[in-house]
Amino acid sequence: MTHGGCRAAAPESSQPRLSRGTRPTKPEGTGAQLSDHHQRSRTGHVAGEGDLSKLGIACIGKQVYAPRHRAEWLGKISELGVRRRAEFYYQQLDALRALRKQVRRDLLAECKKHQAWKQLCQIPSIGPIRAAVLLGILQTPHRFRTKRQLWTYSGLGIETRSSADHRSVDGQLERAKKQISIRGLNQNCNHDLKNLFKGAAIVASSKPGPFQEFYTALLTQGIRPEMARLTLARKIATIALMVWKRGASFDAQHLKPQTA
């Protein structure tokens, strides 16, 4: 996972075009591979929970996963085939939990070799795992010249649409004066990175600290909670890019409006 070298983004015309249905390859490197494996193991869930729901058995919460309650939940399944399948799902969950611990250890051991990881860990709500995943996905901060490029890559950019931008007035073509329609956030993005910054924003908004104060200040201005979380996610992404590029430590002064 090399990120020391500066790799400037190539012009758009020199980028290889992908045919429809082709996905870009993931960045190579031990850190990138470990972070991808760790992300998949974190988001996995027991499919047996769906079987219980189909049978009309309410299974809200985490109790259904606890080893000491498994016999109780399995006893609620009357169909032998479904019960046996649920047992296999429990075995799969146990194997994934053990594998996740091993991947976590290897991931952190690999990322501790890089100074940027230590600097990113100083940012509230990022933490060691998110910092490791960030290193694995981005590799280097120098691929983004501005913060807005990172926002777009992370799915935090605003997508707009417009039509009939010009009109004819006395035989002359003039630009129409109308507002641009906002269609929401851009969909063409790295979804793992989007989940990372969104998760960090949710955690930061609920825990005491400078980010929560920033979030609360947005709410007092009348901004809707979902838009305030979006602004906070952008702020975290901007600070992460700034800290990584400059090799500096996190400072609460980074929360000033000019870095938003």
Give the least confident one: 32-41, 121-130, 148-157.
32-41
Q: What is the DSSP string of 111-137?
A: HTT-HHHHHHHTSTTTHHHHHHHHHHH
pLDDT at 192 exceeding the cut of 60: yes
Name the residue ranges covered by the structural domains of the chain.
Answer: 28-158+189-259
- Give the per-residue pLDDT at 80: 87
In the prediction, which pLDDT does 19 show? 41
Six token digits for residue 111: 């990322």
Owner of token pair 């015309």:
13
Output the pLDDT for position 50.
59
Distance between first and last Cα of the chain: 29
Question: CA dist 126 to 35, 121, 135, 200, 206, Å?
Answer: 14, 6, 12, 6, 14
Residue 103 pLDDT > 60: yes
What pTM value is reported for the model?
Answer: 0.67
Please check whether residue 132 is in contact with residue 111, taking contact to mean a CB–CB distance below 8 angstroms.
yes
Asked if residue 3 has pLDDT above 50, the reply is no
Binned at pLDDT 50, 70 and 90, residue 149 comes out as: very high
pLDDT of amino acid 17: 41
Torsion of CA 190, 191, 194, 195, to 10 degrees: -150
> What pLDDT score does 18 carry?
37
- Above 90 in pLDDT, residue 233? yes
